Amino acid sequence: MFELFNIGFLPVTYLDLLDISIVAILFYWLYAKVKNNITFQVLIGLALILGLSFITEAINLKSINWILEILSDIWLLGFIILFQPELRNLLLMITRSSLFQFFIKSKMSESIDEVVEATIEFSENHIGALIVFPRTQSAKMTIDTGVILNASVSKDLLTSIFIVKSPLHDGAVVIDNHILMAARCILPLANIEKYNGKNLGTRHRAALGLSEQIDAVILIVSEETGWISIAESGVLEMNISKHDLDKILREKVLEEK
């Protein structure tokens, strides 16, 4: 890297300027978020201790530096404990940013590829399946009724879950943010037993029931007919073509119009 100038014996390069700029932007963003509450005062206190620790280390005041290092460790731990809600909100803001969502959608797109392949195979072989994709609302209550997996989504995993002899084939799987969270989840049944003149099985009633309670897309494969259906907001779209499944599922789950 080319040197721009020197500060005493320290050379300053373009990379140093980029590094400082990124850190300055991050600190300014953090300052803008917390400047109006008590979190800012605690951050100032922590910054002062870290600054003094750096100075005492530079001028070789070993005893004072040792005390300040202990204080900074305690201060940091106390900050995490006291401001857990604020830190959680900060993480939520980061995960909802457009950049973060771009990577999540990329991973989710790969998961949908796996789901579509598995669903078509289920349809052709009349293997019943129920797959839940939460959107803007949490499906924690549903996840808690099943067996927690926290696994990567794959066609092989879905097949091993929904084959008839599997102990997990009854119930639904929940896929949230490209992670297969749980299997054998119990969904609430809708009160209706017929939809547009057609009798509904347990899977379709369960899918409709959950779609009435939370914002989610629920994919259903009928064991009897092999039909592929999708429940969303209390509406059931039945007998979806295998050729249209990928497009429809992406539109609903990824909101790609």
Please say whether the beta carbons of 125 and 165 come within 8 A: no
> Of 104-108, 110-114, 226-230, where does mean pLDDT reach its minimum?
104-108
Q: Is the pLDDT of residue 35 over 70?
A: no
pLDDT band of residue 98 (cuts 50, 70, 90) is low
Q: Is the pLDDT of residue 248 over 90?
A: yes
List all residues 6 or more positions away from 210 whose beta carbon is below 8 Å from its beta carbon.
132, 142, 172, 187, 188, 216, 218, 231
**Quick one: pLDDT at residue 194?**
84
Q: Is the pLDDT of residue 68 over 70?
A: yes
pLDDT band of residue 189 (cuts 50, 70, 90) is very high
List phi, psi (to 5°) of 139.
Answer: -110, 30
Q: Is the pLDDT of residue 63 over 80?
A: yes
**Quick one: pLDDT at residue 256?**
47
Domain locations in the chain as residue ranges: 3-95, 99-253
State how far the Cα of 117 lies from the Cα of 87, in Å rounded to an integer: 39
**Quick one: 99-253 is in which CATH superfamily?**
DNA integrity scanning protein, DisA, N-terminal domain (3.40.1700.10)
pTM above 0.75, yes or no: no
pLDDT band of residue 138 (cuts 50, 70, 90) is confident
- 221 pairs with which residues across the strands? 129, 228
Q: Is the pLDDT of residue 102 over 70?
A: no
Q: What mean pLDDT value characterizes the chain?
A: 82
**Quick one: pLDDT at residue 257?**
37
Tally of helices (H runs) and strands (E runs) in the chain: 9, 11
Residue 52 to residues 11, 56, 60, 71, 196: CA-CA distances in angstroms?
24, 6, 12, 11, 73
Q: Is the pLDDT of residue 185 over 60?
A: yes
Letter string b/e over residues 59-77, b meaning 16 or more CB atoms within 10 A of that residue's CB: eeeeeebeebeebbeebee
